[in-house]
Amino acid sequence: MAVFKQMIVKLRYILYFIAVPIAIGTITTCKTPYTPAPITAVNNYLVVEGLINITDSTYINLSRTVNLMSASTVKPELKATISIVSNTGSSYPLTEVGNGVYSAPSYNLNPANQYSLMIKTSNGSTYASDYVPTKITPPIDSIITDMEPDGIHFSINTHDPQNATRYYRWDYSETWQFTSYFDSHATAQGAATSPASMSSAFIGIGIAVLPRTNNIYNCWGGDASSTILINSTAALSQDILVNQPITFVASSSEKLSIRYSINIRQYALTQDAYTFWTLLKTNTEQLGSIFDAQPSATIGNIHNINNPNEPVIGFMSACTVSQKRIYINYTDLPKSYVADYQNTTPYNKYTCVLDTVSVDPFATKGSELDYFINGYPHALQIPVDIIIPFNGVLGGSATGAIPACVDCTLRGTNVKPAFWQ
């Protein structure tokens, strides 16, 4: 669903471009800047993301379009009623899980049937997709990692021995392990510390710097694909794809600094679905010069039952999903990759130095000794190691650094993913 969100944001810019007429006259050397008036029309169109998963959990995301100049980029559609309906009359409900996301457990739907998604929004409008046949997605045969000097090119091999798929789409999710610059073994607590910064400040009298019990050194980051990945074997004699490009990770990326994983998902499409994704890709990724294809209407298969003229953004498919995950350790990489990362580490933009912080229990609140070391307020530092233990009215000292260099949870999560091996 993340890729679809990216496409919708880009579509807003395209619609904005289409709405502004441009007169092209004689080309001269004089240019006058032109700033078009912002579009203020109330375009509150329904956006439907996701697919009907025949053999696993189904997730559908509902949202509304917003104007280009709006401060908000996402407007979730809440309190809707959604169900999967088969052409035999059976109905399978979805449950709202929050922020416009609706889910259903694995219903093990019959692949011989056709399915539609029925939506009733909180304002009483009813939407339905066309009934679509189910597609059985073949497995991904292998993930190829081509390690070039500038990074890793990921591609896949796949095939359908029945020659029945022909139209494919892929997306992926990335997960990587990383650490903070400093490993903190201490934490600050005390009445002088506000609740919001209880673990990241040590100032004033009545505090305690104690051994740390939670991990803020080792974390995991994540990202999802943001481009449309599709291909077809319709013009080939066999339903085989070799070295289908998926993504690229630069040798200097933090993603490769410790351990990296990519999970690639493969979807079998109908020809209509492939046409939809092709148009969406053209409209969002291949526009930018006068030689590119011009924007065209991207017609989905979801409609307002009572108002067929209302645009609805999205295309509903029903299929099984194949996926394959691989892991790459930094020890598997060329040594040049390690050097490239060290030269471009995200911590280069910070001043990651250890300050020695001493607390004088008799200092006047607000004194320089109490609050500032090397130009940094203590309230903006996290203890790293205890030098001289202290608590209450006792003096003491500890090393500390700014949160960006100590707390990895500012850029990721310290909860190990359930799938991580």
Q: Tell me the mean pLDDT in the region 239-261.
A: 97
* pLDDT, greater one: 286 or 8: 286
Q: What is the pLDDT of residue 28?
A: 43
Q: What is the pLDDT of residue 173?
A: 98
Q: What is the pLDDT of residue 16?
A: 39
Nearest alpha-carbon partner for 92 in 124, 122, 60, 61: 60
| Cβ atoms of 234 and 143 closer than 8 Å | no
Q: What is the pLDDT of residue 400?
A: 86
Residue with tokens 């709405």: 19
Confidence (pTM):
0.82
pLDDT higher than threshold 90 for residue 37: no
- Residues 385, 386, 387, 390: what is their CA dihedral angle, to the nearest 10 degrees? 160
The chain-wide mean pLDDT, for the chain, equals: 83
| Cβ atoms of 127 and 303 closer than 8 Å | yes
Instruction: Read off φ and ψ for residue 407, nearest 5 degrees.
Output: -100, 100
Q: What is the pLDDT of residue 5?
A: 56
* pLDDT, greater one: 406 or 398: 406
Q: What is the pLDDT of residue 17?
A: 37
Q: Tell me the mean pLDDT in the region 12-21.
A: 40
Q: How confident is the model at residue 394 (pLDDT cuts 50, 70, 90)?
A: low
Q: What is the pLDDT of residue 355?
A: 83
pLDDT higher than threshold 70 for residue 35: no
Between 50-64, 83-97, 205-219, 406-420, the lowest mean confidence (pLDDT) is in 205-219
Q: What is the pLDDT of residue 89?
A: 96
Range 273-279 contact pairs with CB under 8 angstroms and sequence separation of 24 or more: 273/132, 273/167, 273/169, 273/315, 273/317, 274/167, 274/169, 274/230, 274/232, 276/300, 276/301, 276/315, 277/169, 277/228, 277/230, 277/315, 278/230
Q: What is the pLDDT of residue 186?
A: 85
HEC per residue, the chain: CHHHHHHHHHHHHHHHHHHCCCCCCCCCCCCCCCCCCCCCCCCCCEEEEECEECCCCEEEEEEECCCCCCCCCCEECCCCEEEEEECCCCEEECEEEECCEEEECCCCCCCCCEEEEEEECCCCCEEEECCEEEECCCCEEEEEEEEECCEEEEEEEEECCCCCCCEEEEEEEEEEEEECCCCCCEEEEECCCCHHHCCCCCCCCCEEEEECCCCCCEEEEEEECCCCEEEECCCCCCCEEEEEEEEEEECCCHHHCCEEEEEEEEEECCHHHHHHHHHHHHHHHCCCCCCCCCCCCCCCCEEECCCCCCCEECCCCEECEEEEEEEEEHHHCCHHHHHHHHHHCHHHHCCCCCEEEEECCCCCCCCHHHHEECCEEHHHCEEEEEEECCEECCCEEEEEECHHHHCHHHCCECCCCCCCC
- At 330-373, the pLDDT tens digits run 999 999 998 999 889 999 988 898 988 765 555 444 433 333 33
Q: Tell me the mean pLDDT in the region 76-97.
A: 98
Question: What would you measure as the largest C-alpha separation in the chain, in angstroms?
Answer: 85
Q: What is the pLDDT of residue 156?
A: 98
- At 142-192, the pLDDT tens digits run 999 999 999 999 999 999 999 999 999 999 999 999 999 999 998 876 533
Percent of the chain whose predicted confidence (pLDDT) is above 70: 73
- At 285-321, the pLDDT tens digits run 865 554 555 555 667 999 999 999 999 999 999 999 9
pLDDT higher than threshold 90 for residue 113: yes
Nearest alpha-carbon partner for 363 in 187, 201, 206, 198: 206
pLDDT higher than threshold 50 for residue 19: no
Q: What is the pLDDT of residue 415?
A: 97
* pLDDT, greater one: 395 or 381: 381
Q: What is the pLDDT of residue 6?
A: 56
